[in-house]
Amino acid sequence: MLRGSIITGLVDIMDKSAEKLKAEIAIIGGCGHVGLPLGLALASQGKTVVAFDIDAQKVEQTNQGTMPFRDRGADELLKTVLDKNLFRCTTDRLALKDAKIIISVTGTPVDEHLNPRLENIQNALLSCADMFNSDQLLILRSTIYPGTTKHIEKELIKQGLSMDVAFCPERVAEGCALEEITSLPQIVSGCTKQAEERAAELFKLLTPEIIRLDPISAELAKLFTNTWRYVQFAVANQFFTMANDYGADFYAIHAAMTQNYERTQGFPKAGFAAGPCLLKDTMQLSAFHNNNFFLGHAAMLVNEGLPNYLVNRMQEMFELNEMRVGLLGMTFKADSDDIRDSLSFKLRRQLRPNCKELLCHDPYLQNDWLCALEDLLEKSDVLIVGAPHQVYKELKWPDKPIIDIWNIAEQRIKVL
Ligand SMILES: NC(=O)c1ccc[n+]([C@@H]2O[C@H](COP(=O)([O-])OP(=O)(O)OC[C@H]3O[C@@H](n4cnc5c(N)ncnc54)[C@H](O)[C@@H]3O)[C@@H](O)[C@H]2O)c1
């Protein structure tokens, strides 16, 4: 009797928790930089959204109304959609069961040989297959190796699931995802017309401009987009090193080249081309093309070689071994708190054994080895900008040499 009532009680609890998790849209990897802004944007359109994520800490923090990373405008929206019961996060796969639409944002990282780990997305999805049903629409949203959409569709069919499978790549820039989701055109592709149509219907809630492609073209369009940016940055960085080697000011040249001259308007400035996407996606594209992608590999050598170049130049210019170096900005881009694949860390590794002491600062990070900005500015003999955060742009720089590839230090005491 007692056993029976305990079981009934448990079933009751499970039913209630299943009820609590019911939402029209479920996002796998929903507490990440892509999944969370997308979930918030859809919830702001009145959809019920549940973010399923394996990171329990992020899930808890987000459910309590605190964004796990910086994204413009997201803090307020998160609180609003939580209050309206339109959005919540969970580590429970059960959340996928009743959703009409499942969006997957789990990525395809590259391994130590720079080859894409194709098994990651497949494992993430197939480990949830027992929660899927054939009426659902599955949208792949992360950047994927060409052919993945069709491959996933086939793998699901093997599991007896004839779901609609679509690929709709995310193209936002990190830090302003929420703003860009509704301002960028959305590329939509599906394994079937029905999958494409259902995905298009969803994204029409966010943006009026839907661009339709077949899956392989959409997969390539996303990889080409990121690779295009990576190669463009490499061109600027290579020109930067060339100009410096000849004692010329790259930024004076840049200004001259771009002033009232339409054909050079897309020419980027120099700086660290880092973060979790650009290099990885250039290497994915290379792997797809049997590693016959000289331009992509050349871009990698230039961009990844920039920290070494700076350290070499500093060694030529100074008695670096006897100097205290202050490194400002550790995250991978300006005003972000994301350190993934940040080249400032590569710079830190290379500087440390070659200088007397290395002091580091970042306004968006907290760590034992970081020091206060005032201390760094006072104690350092030479300064180097790793990430061009706004706070540095507004800084009254001390009268010390500054290595500034980003060109943010106004005073002309820069040495690069
Ligand atoms: N960061 C960007 O601005 C951006 C822009 C466009 C495209 N992308 C692409 O989107 C993908 C995701 O990038 P991101 O920056 O959001 O990564 P992220 O690490 O911020 O987010 C991924 C989330 O997925 C979760 N996760 C991992 N495996 C899981 C699993 N098996 N089940 C459930 N949750 C799981 C993680 O805990 C994490 O919260 C990548 O392919 C990336 O290239 C990123």
**How does pLDDT run across 302-319, given as a tens digit for each residue?**
999 999 999 999 999 999
- Nearest-CA residue for ligand 1 atom 19 is 32
Secondary structure letter of residue 321 according to DSSP: G
Last residue of a domain, one of 189, 213, 237: 213
- Nearest-CA residue for ligand 1 atom 28 is 106
Which domain does 370 fall in, by range?
Answer: 225-403
CA–centroid distance, residue 118 to ligand 1 (Å)? 14
- If asked whether residues 293 and 266 sit together in one domain, one would say yes
CA–centroid distance, residue 31 to ligand 1 (Å)? 8
> Mean pLDDT across the stretch 55-81?
98
**Distance from C-alpha of 375 to C-alpha of 362, rounded to nearest angstrom:** 13
The identity of residue 58, as a single letter, is K
Instruction: List, in order, residues 6 or more apart from 261 with CB less than 8 Å away.
Output: none
What per-residue confidence (pLDDT) applies to 20? 62
Last residue of a domain, one of 179, 213, 247: 213
Site residues for ligand 1, CB cut-off 6 Å: 28-29, 31-35, 52-55, 58, 105-108, 124, 142-143, 170, 172, 174, 276-277
- If asked whether residues 83 and 187 sit together in one domain, one would say yes
Burial of 183 (0-12, 13-18, 19+ CB in 10 A): exposed
| From 31, 277, 338, 342, mutation site for ligand 1 pocket: most ligand atoms within 8 A of C-beta | 277
Q: Note whether residue 270 is domain-resident.
A: yes
Question: Residue 129 in contact with residue 122, Cβ under 8 Å?
Answer: no
Reported as a pLDDT band with limits 50, 70 and 90, residue 239 is: very high
- If asked whether residues 330 and 250 sit together in one domain, one would say yes
Q: Note whether residue 132 is domain-resident.
A: yes
Q: Note whether residue 410 is domain-resident.
A: no
What per-residue confidence (pLDDT) applies to 13? 42
Counting the structural domains of the chain, the total is 2
> Any idea what the CATH number is for the domain that residue 14 is in?
3.40.50.720
- If asked whether residues 312 and 174 sit together in one domain, one would say no
CA–centroid distance, residue 132 to ligand 1 (Å)? 20
Q: In the chain, how many H helices and how many E strands?
A: 15, 12
- If asked whether residues 152 and 261 sit together in one domain, one would say no
N- to C-terminal Cα distance for the chain? Answer: 81
Radius of gyration of the chain (CA): 24
Q: Note whether residue 218 is domain-resident.
A: no
Q: Note whether residue 105 is domain-resident.
A: yes
Look at phi and psi of residue 335 and say left if phi exceeds 0, alpha if psi is from -120 to 50, else beta: left
Last residue of a domain, one of 183, 213, 243: 213
Number of residues that this document lists for the chain: 416
pLDDT in tens, 359-404: 999 999 999 999 999 999 999 999 999 999 999 999 999 999 999 9
- If asked whether residues 135 and 263 sit together in one domain, one would say no
Q: Note whether residue 76 is domain-resident.
A: yes
pLDDT in tens, 177-186: 999 999 999 9
Q: Note whether residue 121 is domain-resident.
A: yes
Residue from 277, 291, 273, 276 nearest 115 by CA: 291
Burial 268-278 (b: 16+ CB within 10 A, else e): ebbbbbbbbbb
pTM of the model: 0.93
Task: Give the containing element (helix H, strand E) for 27.
Answer: strand 25-28
Residues pairing with 101 in the sheet: 25, 137
**Distance from C-alpha of 365 to C-alpha of 143, rounded to nearest angstrom:** 27
- If asked whether residues 287 and 357 sit together in one domain, one would say yes
pLDDT in tens, 86-126: 999 999 999 999 999 999 999 999 998 889 999 999 999 99
